[in-house]
Structure formats: structure tokens, C-alpha cells
Structure 1
Amino acid sequence: MNWYQFENFIRELVPENYKMKGDFYGWYGKKKPEQINKVAVVVDLLPFCNFSSYDVVISHHKPFFTPDFPVFVVHTPLDFIEWGCHFQLAKNFGFTEIKKFDSSIGVYVEKETDVKELLENAIKTLSPEPINYYFPSERVKKIAFFSGCGFNFPLFIEKVIGENIDMVISGDLVHHTAVRFSVNKIGYIDIGHYKSEIPGIKEFIKRIQRKLTAEFVDAKIPQFHLCLC
């Protein structure tokens, strides 16, 4: 497959028209491979990763440096498409009847659930480090999911409060959102930006593998946590 065929294939999987206004989508930099047989897929492109055995890298997020190898960025189209990152995050918790908000920003489910089961599932399947949570009640009926930066995404936060959501599972929790949710008696589980994207990335890889060899390269989170317990 040449680069032009590859680009068309990716655009069919995650069309650009799903992207948010101002978001970057497409080839990042001037490098384009002549032939593509093996693809690396990452959440973030980090300079210490070795991609020499791959013909191209698909990065979920736009890089913060200019790579000397071919990179294609898919970001918000992969988040918002019907089978994408938001949907797969909810599916990861065992839900099947998943609904999109009218704005397509995030998804939600309506099913009475024990909050401890949600927390145990998050720890077992995603191994987030650290994990922050707040449970104003033991059971919830309406749960929202937003892969990535949901706790720091104003449109999503307003939607959560306006739609009477009981519990939110996302990443990038900030102080003011935690306080606001507490005031509104909305529970939350913050599994981190990186880990919340992985279920969607893995589904994306399965779809790429219909035509190409594709692998997830787990660069992990470029930070360390110290617990003074």
C-alpha cells in the first residue's frame, strides 16, 4: 500500500469531518512513506521511542516536535466517531446500550450500577496510576464517559450538569471541576487522560489490521508518582 492509498484508508476509517474546529488532522511534517506494510499506533508521539521497524506512525495526539519519520494524526475524529474512543471507554466497563449526547461530545449509559463495581473495573482493566474518585452515593443510574480530557472540557462539563448525570468517568481532573461536581452531587472516577484513550486506540488498531499489520506502541505516561503514605 502506498501513502496515498494509506491516507484514503485512514480517512475512510476516521473521516476528517468528525474533527473539532481548529483541531489538527492528517500528515504531520513533510515525510510520507513510499510503501506501507507495518504501522505503529500511539496515544502520544515521544522522542525517545524507536519506530525504526515501522513504515508510518499514527498518533492520536498532535506531536510537540517535528519527527524525521512519517506521522499521521487522527485526534478528535477518533474520539467522536460512533465506534471511537468515547464509545470504547464505556464498552470497556461492560455497557452495551451506549448513547451519544446531542453535541456528540462524550457518551452516556442509563443503567443502575454499584459505584464500587465501576472502580474495581477501572483498576482491573486499565490499571490507572493514580486514580481519583468521589462517590456521593453507592449506586448511580446515569453514567457519562469522555476519553481524554473530559474533566477539563467545559462543553462536556456543562452537558454533564445539564443532563443530570450521576457519575462521570474520564481523565484530566482539575480542582475546580472536582469542587463543582461535589456541589452538584455528581460522582467521578478520574482514570487519567492516557489510560482512558487506550480502549479506543485498540479498537482502531483492530480495524487497521483488516488491511495492514498494526501494533500499539505503549509509550506510557511521561511522569512519575510519589505516594507519601
Structure 2
Amino acid sequence: MVQFKKWWHLAFALLLAFALVSPTASAAVLQPVSQELQSTTFDVELSIDGLDDEILGLTTATVAEGTTALELVEQVLDNEGIPYVVVSTQYGPYLQSIDGRAAGSLNGWDGWVYTVNNISPNDGLADYVLEPDDVVHIYYTTWAKLQTTSTVAINDNNPTVTVDLTGDLFVTPGVTNLANWTINTGTTALTAQSVTVNTDQQVVITFAGQAQAGTITITASANALFGSSASEPLEVEVK
């Protein structure tokens, strides 16, 4: 029995030595480790459009497996020397600014959004993990909202309403055309007469008639706004 154990230990030692010196055996042993050490890379594309200009044309970038859309943006903008700002929020990293244009610069819900392969993901930039051949498009979007501090009282003659816009810009000459507004005066006995521009975010709407109790509803159509999407309706009570 002792002799058998000695023979077995010798045979095992010879097999181990052969595995270490044999090129074929060594390759077989090392190959899985080598594959793990090699990170997978692939190409994706990125383009960025600002509010009214192209910031980055379609650009190809090579990224490692597991790279997020936000990391792609940071990688490419760093390489191109284009300034940007990413801030930490309670919801995670947020792309606040690109090339000097900060989210909310139009005083509303305007800001930077993105698509991948022309689809808007449910995940934020920092959570979307890229896949081979993804095409990422970052762009500045608008969200038009109308507000006013004007009041209209019963029996006011030919009243005016100053309308302030946030999240978008008025465009001329479209904004001064009443056809590009939906103005419902309801029971107020008023008729919209004209729209006058004060600034690219403020207009004055003039009405004809003597005001009666009711509600005026005002909506700017896509043709009156830079972002080409209609505003949320604004209600003005006459009381």
C-alpha cells in the first residue's frame, strides 16, 4: 500500500509538470482567464442639438461594455473640448448644461433630453446602458407654459391681458397672428382683437367689448412658439 501511494504521488507530479511546460496545455489553462481580462468594446454614435443650433454632428465613439449614455456624453464632450455640467440630485446624476445652455434657461421645464435609436427610453441618461450600434441623440427641448398677472373685472371695457411665457420662446411673425392662438372667451362677451409683442417671452392680448362674468381660455399654437408644440392653456377669470 505504501508503495502504491508513492507511485501515485509521482504520477501526479509528472502530470502537473507536463501541464505547466506543455504550450498546448498552458494555453488551455490560461485561455479562460485571458478572455475574462479582455473587456468587450463596440461602437456607438452620438449627436447633440442645442436650442437653435447643432452642437455636435453625428460622431462615432468606441465604448466598453457597461458604459452608460451619460458616460458616453462625458467621454465625447471631453474629447471634443465642449463644456458641460453634470450635477448630483436625489434622483442621481443630471446633465444640467451643454456648451453654456443650462436646463431651465427659459425659466420653465425646458431642458436636455435624449433618444436612443429614435426612441425615448424610460431610464435617465445615467441609467441607460449602451448596446452595440446604439445611436444616441441629445437635444434641448421646450415646454411652453403661459402665465399672467393681469386681472379682468366685470364691466371692464376693452381689457388687455399680458401673457408671460416660460419654457419656450414666441416667434414672429407667427405670434402676432390671431389664427395662431386659440382664445375661448366663453360667457365674457369679449372678442380677441390683437396680439402685441413686448419680448420673446411676453405678449399683450387686447379684447373688445365690456367684460361679463366668465372664463377666458388662452392657448398658443405650435406656429406661435419656437418649440413647435402648443402651450398649456391659460385661464383668466372675469369676476
Give the structure-1-normalised TM-score: 0.25
| Structure showing the higher strand proportion among its residues | 2
User: Which structure's relative contact order is higher, taking Cα pairs within 8 Å and 6+ residues apart?
Assistant: 1
For the pair shown, the structure with the greater C-alpha radius of gyration is: 2
| Structure showing the higher helix proportion among its residues | 1
Give the structure-2-normalised TM-score: 0.24
